[in-house]
Structure 1
């Protein structure tokens, strides 16, 4: 039987508000909220387990959710007032899901490609930048995204929103800088670190083998630990007055240069 909740004072709704607003609650419960049809669909496609679907019949019909439904997922009809309390965005389709978080332990990450291409971001803080990095990783179909010294909860609603659900589409693992460097070395993955120091122009390097492209924050760049362990520091030459660009833009330039080289290798071998 379809459950209905119309009050924002409902105890379950209060719990969901805590999930939305507090990373501590997400970590403690192992649950988080997904908002929007596309984002929920991507989570399901990536084998996330959904516990509950909540929809506002004023904004979306039950029939429009048929492709998301499963006997093990509770379906709850909520009032517009409740939906607005839970929704992170003003203009969405009227559907939310409560999902189980996955483990992002570096020790569980498996790279299936013989020539993996990995994006590494050290200490990214801004959810918008993290979301953009994840969108770029999805667009380039990289093998994994590694976040060193994470500062932000991966299931922050702003990350899910800014990644348009790409937080679900690629393997993401987290660890300290030392742990990730060790992982890359163990897997014989060359590390190309974006830096102003002791750098070669990014187009001069060969990214057709196992490759990690490593970017830091715009404010401080990469830590010395990365620069000391780097296979080669690389730089994107600036044509204007400033010496840096948005981290997601820089990552996109580097990743698609690697993709270009790899495609050229395939074309030349045919």
Structure 2
């Protein structure tokens, strides 16, 4: 295993990896930086292209993960330099630059669950939604304008590997929703003032769930494009639920309905 040592924090590769902490840098290089053994294992399983592996000087245990990954350059950095590149408080000492895959054309299957995210801004919320969506069998997720970058380090950590298996597409939802409806999707939006509870409906196999921004909810112009608006009942004196919680409750109502027919 050939490990190349970098001793200067001003090295051009270090400067590149530091830029990957910003959306501008990720867009410029078409890469993201992941940190930790678990995410490295997940990205290998998902067969995403690894452009480089970074290890802290004293990290040796994690190198076992790299056995069999021939042709991938490995760089050893001083612990202080490595820590500057990641934003975790206790870095595990291993990271990787991973190529962001290009978006694939959407093909509507006969049975499908789709998520439409309208300006979800909190990285932790988006990461949790991606993880819950994968658990509930949702593969296709549309990211509307104003939604946080899915390759933000906090999103990547919160998704815990689900990001690498999700089919993400950034698009204007004003154009996406009519197209999905033409493909036979039933579009559902959520809101606390809707008149019907989410569990009082039977949802067709092709259902798209529209979730809104943490503060203002679903934009009125998008809400008008949906087929129905439902609410999750809240007997307690709470105005609204966290959007990731809303996603979990609704998606598992879809799971309950589908499994109940087996």
Q: Is this a same-fold pair by TM over 0.5?
A: yes
Quick check: 1:176 aligned with 2:176?
Answer: no
Q: Answer whether contact 1:195 1:234 (CA < 8 A) is retained.
A: yes
3-state SS of 1:192 partner:
strand
Instruction: Report the CA distance shift for 1:186/1:102 in structure 2 as closer, same or farther (over 3 A).
Output: farther
Output the CA distance in 2 between the equivalents of 1:264 and 1:60: 49
Whole-angstrom distance in 2 between the partners of 1:252 and 1:198: 18
SS across alignment from 2:255? helix
Deviations 1:116-142 (A, max 9, x none): 011221111111111111111122121
Q: Distance in 2 between matches of 1:207 and 1:3?
A: 55
Give the structure 2 partner of residue 161 of structure 1: 157
2:102 match: 103
RMSD (Å) for aligned C-alpha atoms: 1.8
Q: Does 1:244 align with 2:240?
A: yes
Change (3 A) 1:98 1:252: same
Q: Where does structure 2 lack aligned partners over 5 or more consecutive residues?
A: none
Instruction: Tell me how far apart the structure 2 counterparts of residues 60 and 164 of structure 1 sit (CA, whole Å).
Output: 23
Deviation at 1:62, TM superposition (A): 5.7
1:168 alignment partner, SS class: helix
Q: Could you give the per-residue CA deviations for residues 155-211 of structure 1, whole angstroms, max 9, x where no partner exists?
A: 111111222232212111121121220331132111111023443110011124211
Alignment check: 8 A CA contact 1:201 1:236 kept = yes
CA distance, structure 2, for counterparts of residue 63 and residue 46 of structure 1:
19
Instruction: Give the gaps of 5 or more residues in structure 1.
Output: none
Q: Does the 8 A contact of 1:56 with 1:94 survive in 2? A: yes
Q: Deviations over 1:2-40 (max 9, x none)?
A: 2111322222112211112x2111111111111112212
Cα distance in 2 between the residues matched to 1:151 and 1:209: 26
Whether the 8 Å contact between 1:208 and 1:261 is mirrored in structure 2 is: no
Q: Distance in 2 between matches of 1:32 and 1:198?
A: 39
- In the aligned structure 2, how far is the partner of 1:62 from the partner of 1:216? 40
Matches within 5 A, 1:59-78: 59-61=59-61, 63-67=63-67, 69-78=68-77
SS at 1:167 equivalent: helix
Show the counterpart of 1:82. Answer: 81
Please give the TM-score of this superposition, normalised by the length of structure 1: 0.90
Distance 2:103 2:223 in 1: 25
Say if 1:47 and 1:156 are closer, same or farther in 2 by CA, change over 3 A.
same
Structure 1 pair 162–198 and aligned structure 2 pair: CA distance change class (3 A): closer
Moved more, 40-49 or 30-39: 40-49
1:221 alignment partner, one of 210, 214, 217: 217
TM-score by length of 2: 0.92
- 1:56 aligns with 56
1:99 and 1:46, CA in 2 relative to 1: closer, same or farther beyond 3 A? same
SS at match of 1:265: coil
Give the structure 1 partner of residue 13 of structure 2.
Answer: 12
**Alignment of 1:191 onto 2:187:** yes
C-alpha contact 1:207 1:262 (8 A) present in aligned 2: no
Please give the alpha-carbon distance, in whole angstroms, between the structure 2 residues aligned to 1:63 and 1:223.
48
